[in-house]
Amino acid sequence: MKRTILSLGGLLLGITVAYAQANISPAKPQSKPVVITGATIHVGNGQVINNGYITFDKGKITGVGQGTAPDITGYDVINATGKQVYPGFIAPVTTLGLVEVEEGARGTVDDTETGDLNPHVRSLVAYNTDSKVIPTVRSNGILLAQPTPEGGIISGESSVVQLDAWNWEDAAYKKDMAIHLNWPTAVAGGRRRAPVAVPGVVQETPAQRAQKAVDNITSLFEQAKAYADIAKPEVTNIRFEAMKGLFNGTKKLFIIADGAKEIVQAVSFSKRFGILAVIVGGKESYLVTDVLKENNVPVILRETQTLPDKDEDDVYLPYKLPKMLQDAGVLYGLTGTGFWRQRNLPFEAGQAVGYGLTKEQALSMITMNNAKIMGIDKTTGTLETGKDANLFISAGDALDMISIDVETAFIQGRNINLDNLHKQLYKKFSDKYGFKL
């Protein structure tokens, strides 16, 4: 049987009236194969297929190509002529689901544990699938995220989740995949004058202070690595237990470092311990691309829509940064800021296009590249056969705010509900004023 779903977006909006946020339920597993036809398919790896089709069944992509799909008997058909199909966007290193109200409601904030060394603390268990923020983010095509702890020196470990789930157990896409380290920084900053020398007190320079912190981290990792070699430790150290994965390649070390010096330090540190490292932030990564490239260390840039750090910097430096890494051959991804702002992730990517990147490169940044860096590229990040059907249809260019219009989205083949609190309030007050939507 063949059924054509036309204008699914409109249909969803109709359903909305009856729903409230609490009733935005996770979608049921894919029961029937689906084919999307006539679309412009952005594969995520740079390739664009005009008038393309994509088929998926039981949550997996079964075919992608140009023209008419071979055999689609019994498929649900979505005619997406003139529309765009994208791999689901991926938001790495975010507090989505860990924070509901940023300020003045501490009870809703679960992203920062007390203490400096928390490799054992796991973000996954605090991930709140019922957050009202998540559906607003999903509505702009972000289908996977990496809720990440913050604070201290070692903030904790993160997992990748898919954004349509009943609970964190369902949500887990890749568990405990990375540990997060804040690299000590030697930037002085803010001082008008050097502190007055106090007789008998040796003033520590910021560089010395940072070096001390680096020495402490190095010593910790030495011990953790030695611990990892002990088959049965006499006393179990749950911090070191959590860190074991770093030394056998099952966990990555996400190192937050923005300064060129810090990045170089972090890279040689990870090399010394044979750790799979990812630089997060990387504001000055463009100054040390050779080091990053030689050591195959990727960078997750934190937002393009930000100000340069220094008055002397190119006013457009953050906009141009992706292009600089692209040209230098460094693997780079992108995340947005905080949690609710992740709905702007596509625009953060699109921002780089005016400053040298191609649209498909900008897309790769938040799909394929992020997936590679997070180690989930075998199952997602591009629209290729065998991968999870994490994708969406937009009426227009999804990297541009004037054209993004996510009509239908699938996570692991499940047709998810794109309603959210904001759409509901829009509807509610349009009704009040008698406006037709």
Site string for other proteins, 78-107 (x = CB under 8 A): ----------------------xxxxxxx-
Both tokens assigned to 268: 């040689």
Both tokens assigned to 167: 């609970």
* Contact call for residues 15 and 419 (beta carbons, < 8 A): yes
Backbone angles phi, psi at 434, to 5 degrees: 75, 30
Nearest to 302 by CA among 270, 269, 254, 267: 254
In the complex, the smallest distance separating the C-beta of residue 389 from other proteins, rounded to whole angstroms, is 25
**48 touches other proteins by CB under 8 A:** no
Site stretch for other proteins (CB under 8 A), options 4-12, 185-193, 211-219, 372-380: 185-193
Interface of this chain with other proteins, residues 124 to 143, rule: CB under 8 A: 133
The helix (H) or strand (E) run that includes residue 383 is: none
**250 touches other proteins by CB under 8 A:** no
Buried b / exposed e across 83-96, counting CB within 10 Å, b at 16+? bbbbbbbbbbbbbb
**214 touches other proteins by CB under 8 A:** no
**Torsion, CA 134, CA 138, CA 143, CA 149, rounded to 10:** -30
* Cα–Cα dist 313/159, whole Å: 35
Both tokens assigned to 79: 């005619």
In the complex, the smallest distance separating the C-beta of residue 433 from other proteins, rounded to whole angstroms, is 6
**20 touches other proteins by CB under 8 A:** no
Site stretch for other proteins (CB under 8 A), options 116-124, 214-222, 256-264, 384-392: 256-264
Q: Report residue 121 CA to chain centroid gap.
A: 19
Site stretch for other proteins (CB under 8 A), options 50-58, 83-91, 187-195, 385-393: 187-195
**379 touches other proteins by CB under 8 A:** no
In the complex, the smallest distance separating the C-beta of residue 270 from other proteins, rounded to whole angstroms, is 20
Q: Report residue 44 CA to chain centroid gap.
A: 15
**10 touches other proteins by CB under 8 A:** no
* Contact call for residues 64 and 54 (beta carbons, < 8 A): yes
259, 281, 282, 298: residue in contact with other proteins (rule CB under 8 A): 259
Backbone angles phi, psi at 214, to 5 degrees: -65, -40
Nearest to 337 by CA among 372, 298, 304: 304
Site stretch for other proteins (CB under 8 A), options 42-50, 59-67, 170-178, 353-361: 353-361
**181 touches other proteins by CB under 8 A:** no
Number of residues lying near other proteins (CB under 8 A)? 63
Residues that bind other proteins (CB under 8 A): 100-106, 109, 112, 133, 187-196, 205, 207, 259-261, 287, 305-312, 314-316, 339-340, 343-344, 347, 350-351, 353-355, 399-405, 421-423, 425-426, 429-430, 433, 435
